[in-house]
Structure 1
Amino acid sequence: MVPTVNDDAQSASARTFRQLGDLLYASDDYETTYTVVCHAATTLITGCDRASLMLRRGEEWTTPAATDEIAAAVDRYERVSGSGPCVDAIEEEVPQLAPDLHDPDAPWPELRSLLLAETPIRGMLGFRIAHHGRKVAALNLFSDRPGGFTDEGVNQAAILAAFTSVALQASAEHHQVITLREGLASNREIGKAIGLLMAYHRISDDAAFEILRTTSNQLNSKLATVAGQVVAGHRNQVST
């Protein structure tokens, strides 16, 4: 069977999703991840010419990533006006669709007029992305063609938003586990160092901890680092 153009497109999309997943699960740099998601949108979503990602943490709104200045500018317009596909997707928790800004029944009349007059954007979509902690985000998608977002593109956007939400949550949990393990390892080293100092100087655990704390401050070094040096020094003495 000879592969069709559609088969090739699906294969390319599958590869892009795999690459995106690898990055989302492995990266601890969320700003880089946001940027990759925005650029992936222009590859994975039919009709998408540019994209941005808006983030809300508490009452603070930011745009940590955008494919270009036009997409970033739309987010600024949204934050000033308090409405638009990204803002409404976050606030209302449902997808926001305006595939043709020329449609008089399309939402956000002031924003639509501004974009039609000052940008090449002719269609917009907004999809909420769940994030960890108090953060919540939305993916803003833009087409430079009226009606450029078909039902196929809307479905692709929904899949990308859901995929990104799941991957970001998994990535956050993964890094929380790593942080916890590192914390436990540090605490074990500190405990060992306190025990060694207590035995060597015949002092209480509070006094041993105070020695570690004072040394840490004097050396401008982390407590766990000083503890590790104490333990390593003891090992060297024992082995010689």
Structure 2
Amino acid sequence: MTSPRSGYAADPTSVHARIARLARSVHGSSPGSVRPDDVLETVTNSAVQLLPPVDHAGATVVRKQRQHKRADLSSVAATGDVPRLFDALQDEHGDGPCFEAVWTQQTVLICDTADEPRWPDLMRTVAEQTPVRSILSIQLFVTDLELGALNLFSETVDGFDGNTEDIATTLAAHAAIALSGARRGQQFRSAVATRDIIGQAKGMLMERYRVDADRAFDILRQLSQESNTPLADLATQVVSVEPLRSGGPAENATS
């Protein structure tokens, strides 16, 4: 009887075809309709479904901090507890293959967690506390504030051969493109929402205090500065919390 792994190795083109269909599905979504987290969940789940050597998958996001401060690591889109535990151990040790992948812009392969000279303390803990025996980490994205890696885990020693790595890299490349689009869509929706809420707040001030649009915006900006509150947050308060009381800061600002 042919095992799933041998069948996979014999016909990698079918996996590429399925990845291509997945890519068309993700890339074909309307702008702003897919969140970055949705993309990551689709990719990690697909990695487990499409690549038989992959038993668990997840993504590591590293948020940059100011100089001399430790980077903040979070585990997202995990297919189960194993990726989350692995990231927790990485965070505890302050280093590991996912950090290496995101910082050095490369793919990191660990063939045997029980016999890995890099990060010996971490790998010893991983071998003791998880079923993970081999790991493949691939950089996904780099922004001014965040870096991300796709992490694939196998419960088999030497679980990832060159063919698996090539296909996983293809999946990660499509994921990176989809993530970029999802992030742009998210930023666009956020910008539109901010513009709309500020517009609503301006309209309320114009009606209540009989001022024009420019003066209404000046009032919001002045209140934002005086209260050290972001303009969009202040506008949200004006619109949804409660009407400004007569004689309050807004009325004083019109004088």
Please report the TM-score for the alignment, with normalisation by the length of structure 2: 0.66
In structure 2, C-alpha distance between the alignment counterparts of 1:6 and 1:94, rounded to whole Å: 23
Cα distance between partner residues in 2 of 1:63 and 1:113: 20
Shift of 1:135: 1.4
Q: Which residue of 2 aligns with 1:15?
A: 21
Output one character per residue of 1:132-163: Cα deviation in whole Å (capped at 9) or x when no partner: 45111111111111222111111122222222
Deviations 1:198-234 (A, max 9, x none): 76x89x9469968xx9xxxxxx9654579xxxxxxxx
Amino acid at match of 2:61: L
How many pairs does the alignment contain?
211
Give the corresponding residue for 1:66: 78
Backbone CA RMSD of aligned residues: 3.6
Matching of residue 145 in structure 1 with residue 140 in structure 2: no
Unpaired runs of 5+ in structure 1? 214-219, 227-240
Counterpart among 26, 29, 33 of residue 26 in structure 1: 33
Question: 2:107 — aligned with what?
Answer: 95
Contact map agreement 1:47 1:149 (CA 8 A) in 2: yes
Match of 2:169 among 158, 162, 168: 158
Distance 1:206 1:10 in 2: 56
Structure 2: distance between partners of 1:109 and 1:96: 15
Q: Structure 1: how far apart are the matches of 2:111 and 2:239?
A: 55
Structure 2 counterparts to residues 67-86 of structure 1, below 5 A: 67-86=79-98
Residue matched to 1:41: 47
Equivalents in 1 of 2:116, 2:206: separation in Å?
73
Residue aligned with 2:59, SS: strand
How far apart are residue 179 of structure 1 and its match? 2.7
Letter in 2 for 1:55: V
Contact 1:132–1:169 (CA under 8 A) maintained in structure 2 = no
Of stretches 143-152 and 168-177 in structure 1, the one that deviates more from structure 2 is 168-177
**Given residue 163 of structure 1, which amino acid in structure 2 is its aligned partner?**
H
Secondary structure, counterpart of 1:62 in structure 2: strand
Aligned-residue offset at 1:165: 2.1
TM-score by length of 1: 0.70
- Aligned partners of 1:124, 1:144: CA distance in 2, in Å? 9
In our comparison, the structure showing a higher alpha carbon Rg is: 1
- Flag the 1:96–1:25 CA change in 2: closer, same or farther, 3 A: farther
Percent identical pairs in the alignment equals: 20
